[in-house]
Chains A and B, each alone.
Chain A
């Protein structure tokens, strides 16, 4: 089962920042937080990941709380094309899980004009 909890849906106005929360209170020390999104029925698209430091790339920023029990994905200037299901996934680095991703239901983000 997924080890994360996300709101089922969120709305955002185009051009504004979208802040998507995720709770992962049982995360362990060697687990990363990954964010993917899925637009319609396309393959999941990698967005960003982090261990404990905040991360930023060309798509988004990831803010992880100091206790690592929650995180927020930030899309700084949402566009209509950012409408998708966003998945927060906790994934073990190395070990015996061979990196499989366990998807939950995610958050349906709808960006409005």
Chain B
């Protein structure tokens, strides 16, 4: 059964550094999403991406964040100049508007 994959599973970085989180969505899906979950809190929507552009973003998704689909398979989330409060699980998901959204296993980001 196809699944969303994410790399790395864990990432430790120093405050102020840039990180890139990678996702391989399910191959025939057209919509891509990033969510995050701070420890002990609920899953929060960050951004949706369709047709090579952002279709919706939350208040959390400020200029520090960017997404791109550099090739036909990968979908990345870049966090510039990380802050302590960026420490969280980051989940990628793919799907279509009409169908179910499937999540990857997540990347645990720790900013020191």
Q: Which A residues fall within an 8 A CB radius of B?
A: 34, 36, 38, 41-46, 49, 87, 93-95, 97-106
The residue in A38, A94, A98, A104 that gathers the most chain B C-beta atoms within 10 A of its C-beta is A98
Question: DSSP class of B's interface residues: helix, strand, loop or mixed?
Answer: strand
Contact of B97 among A44, A87, A94, A102 (CB under 8 A): A94
> Cα distance A102–B42 when bound, in Å?
9
Among B44-52, B65-73, B75-83, the stretch that binds chain A is: B44-52
Seen from chain B, the residues whose Cβ lies within 8 Å of a Cβ on chain A are 4, 31, 33, 35, 37, 42-45, 48, 50, 55-56, 89, 91, 93, 95-98, 100-106, 108
B23 to chain A, nearest CB (A): 11
Residues A98 and B48 in contact in the complex (CB < 8 Å), given A44-B43, A105-B42:
yes
Complex Cα gap A108–B18 (Å): 35
Check if B101 sits within 8 Å of A99, measured CB to CB.
yes
Q: Is the CB of B48 within 8 A of A99?
A: yes
Q: Assuming A41-B89, A93-B98, A94-B97, is B43 touching A100 (CB within 8 A)?
A: no
Q: Could you write out 5 A-B pairs with CB less than 8 Å apart?
A: A42-B106, A43-B4, A44-B91, A99-B48, A100-B48
Residues of B within 8 A of A100 (CB): 33, 45, 48, 56
- Give 9 closest A-B pairs by Cβ, nearest first: A43-B103, A103-B43, A98-B55, A99-B97, A98-B48, A100-B45, A44-B103, A98-B56, A103-B42
A62 to chain B, nearest CB (A): 13
> How far is A49 from B98 in the complex, measured between Cα atoms in Å?
12
